[in-house]
Amino acid sequence: MAASPKAVVVISGKRKSGKDYISEQLRNKLGPDKCAVLHLSGPLKKQYAKEHDLDFEKLLDATAYKETYRADMIRWGEEKRNQDPAFFCRLATSGEDSGKDVWIICDARRLSDVEYFQKNYNKVTTLVRVQADTDTRKQRGFVFTQGVDDAESECGLDSGVDWDVIINNNGDQKQLEDDIHKLLEHIHL
């Protein structure tokens, strides 16, 4: 198992809900020197790019390049997870940032992701759901894609999880600040 952080914040939400934005806001408030934003999708994309001879850097950004491969990447990732549900969680938490006091897992998408952190870091784990309505997500570039937005990678955490904190990210800055404040109060440090 990886290092032992003092707090693990597991963030989930639909595409274009603002998971990365919330993660960066939280990192800035907690201090970049003691806080790491860890992506579960990073190791997945890196391995997928390697096995399929693709540009890893382009798979990380929000361009059409990534969207071209998204459905196949999801299928491939599911195959890997079926063999070992914790494979990508272990990869994400074994990097150089794993020595930081606080881990922000910014892209939990499946129950197996949540279960991994609850099982291995239960006493310090906070589960967070970022929500944004469909119109707000569309303003951020969301377009429903069959086979992606109705797949487990987008819907696997829609139910069955008792979230510690819900963050509403619909453009109301006061609401967002209040929700982030609640999250900061909830984190076990």
Binding site members for substrate: 169
- Measured CA to CA, the distance from residue 170 to residue 131 in angstroms comes to 8
Contact 134, 142 (CB under 8 A): yes
CA 3, 56, 8 angle in degrees (round to 5)? Answer: 25
Angle between helix 64-83 and 41-52 (nearest 10): 100
Q: Kindly give the residue spans of alpha helices, DSSP state H, lying in the chain.
A: 19-30, 41-52, 56-60, 64-83, 87-92, 111-121, 134-139, 152-155, 173-186
Contact 153, 45 (CB under 8 A): no
Known binding positions for ATP: 14-20, 140
- Measured CA to CA, the distance from residue 32 to residue 35 in angstroms comes to 5
- Measured CA to CA, the distance from residue 10 to residue 39 in angstroms comes to 10
Known binding positions: 14-20, 140, 169
